[in-house]
Each structure stands twice: as C-alpha cells, then as structure tokens.
Structure 1
C-alpha cells in the first residue's frame, strides 16, 4: 500500500503533518469520489474542490506550487506541492508501479480512481496501474505546461 513516506519522497515541499505511517487506500483525481484514506490529486478544473475530497475521505492532497490552499483546509492536513499535478500524479503512479513489480506478493494495494476518459483507454475504463501510467505518460507529453523533472 502507498504510504506518506513513499509519496513525500517524490516532492520537494510539503506542509501539514508529516506522518510516515499514513497509508493511502486510494488515490483519486475526483473530489466527489469516495476515497477512504485517500490522496487527492486534482488534475483538471473538473476534479472538484479540496473540501469535497476531504468530505469523501481524503487525508492528504497534492497541490499546485504557488496556488493558494483553501483556508478551510486543516493546518495539519498534509499537502504535497508540485509545479504540475499531472506530472506529480505520473511520478506517484510510476513509483507505485515499480514497487508492485518488486513486491508481487503484496496483498493490500492502493486503489486509483479516475473517470476522466482522457486518462484511460479509449474504449474501456481500467484500474490497471500499468495501463493508467502509460496513458498518463502519453497525455502529459502532449501538454505544454512545465512540471518538475
């Protein structure tokens, strides 16, 4: 299962509580999706609000560097900052995929929740992390927005 320690090592800046024992049961780009013990990563204007994500179970978020975090976010709420959320999500997925390859016997896995067709296969929705990472890699390469390297 993806942990705060795994994710925080991918980003240079974070605020809120730094609890290495947080385990993310879900990673979602949709604030309105049920995301128990979730990591919310808004990748578009259609992702929804941080408040909705928290209401649906998010316990941390990836947030665009330089963008104001809403005042209603609790001070202890973990926020990881990136210059480009889509590239940040790509980093998370690639890191988790590498972990799964090395630990094939893992029983509990983090669930990734995406319903944006642009991030999935053309015809079918999938939760296969390898397919999602490949599609996000292709989607992100078509964008002209600068991200972290």
Structure 2
C-alpha cells in the first residue's frame, strides 16, 4: 500500500495537514470515479479537483504553477510538484520498487561479487545434479 509518508518522501513540498499513517487505496487521474481514500492526479486539467474530492479523494498532486482554488479546504493535503505527469511517473516507479522490495524481504537473497560468479555457480550446480542422475543408470 502507498502511504502518505511515501508520497511526502518523494514530494516534500506540501500544503494542508499531514496524514501520517494513512494509506491511499487508489491513485488515479480519473476524477469521475469513486476514489475512496484516493490520491487524485490531475494529468489533463486541474479543473476537476472538486469532483475528485466529492468522489473520495483525500489528497492530490498539484502543479506548483497552478493557483489553488478557493474551495479547497485548508486541511486538504496537496503535494506540490513541478510537473504532474513526471511526478505521476515517479510515483509509479517508486511504488513498483517498494512492492519489489517488500516481496524481496521474504525471499532468499543471493549475494555474489559479480553476476558472472552467480552464473558460474548456477552452471556448476546444474552440472553436479546432472552427473548424479547419470550415475544411477
């Protein structure tokens, strides 16, 4: 799950309250769908923030060059970015890396000096297994 702290670590310039410990159930540039506990990403236009809030968005990425509408509550978190499209791509990349890292936490890690050493070890292990199978014939 993507948490407020995750997004803030990437985009530290914020406005509104901090939602520490709150996870985003959805991240989307679509304003006209249900975004329960969602992070709205205004890729096309910033004009639909109101609709995204009405549909459950609890925070949004926001282009720093855009004026924040008056209807936005003071406590509504905005992550101020230079370019929303780039920020969205960065957020997707971060989430993929975070997911992989969480999966890797439960996996066995093979640590070698180089990839070629790992390949040699795998090849040598395969050869030993093949010799054992042949010896039983």
Q: Name the structure 1 match of 2:57.
A: 58
The match for 2:111 is: none
Quick one: distance in 2 between partners of 1:66 and 1:75? 18
Q: CA RMSD in A?
A: 1.8
Write out the 4+ residue segments of structure 1 that deviate beyond 2 Å after TM superposition: none
The separation in 2 between residues aligned to 1:26 and 1:36, in whole angstroms, is: 7
Q: Deviations over 1:125-144 (max 9, x none)?
A: xxxxxxxxxxxxxxxxxxxx
Map 1:1-149 → 2, pairs under 5 A: 1-45=1-45, 49-104=48-103
- Name the structure 2 match of 1:119: none
* CA deviation profile, 1:37-73 (whole Å, cap 9, x unmatched): 000001113x751000001110000000121111111
SS in 1 for 2:58: strand
With normalisation by structure 2, the TM-score equals 0.72
Work out the CA distance in 2 between the residues paired with 1:77 and 1:99: 25
Unaligned runs of 5+ in 2: 105-137
Q: Which has the higher contact order (CA 8 A, sep 6+)?
A: 1
Larger Rg: 2
* Alignment coverage as a number of residue pairs: 105
- Counterparts of 2:86 and 2:14, CA distance in 1: 16
Q: How many Å separate the matches in 1 of 2:87 and 2:59?
A: 14
Distance 2:40 2:98 in 1: 20
Under a length normalisation based on structure 1, what TM-score does the superposition of the two structures give?
A: 0.66
The equivalent of 2:112 in structure 1 is none
Structure with greater helix percent? 2
Q: Is the 8 A contact 1:32 1:48 kept in 2?
A: no
SS in 2 for 1:93: helix
Shift of 1:90: 0.8
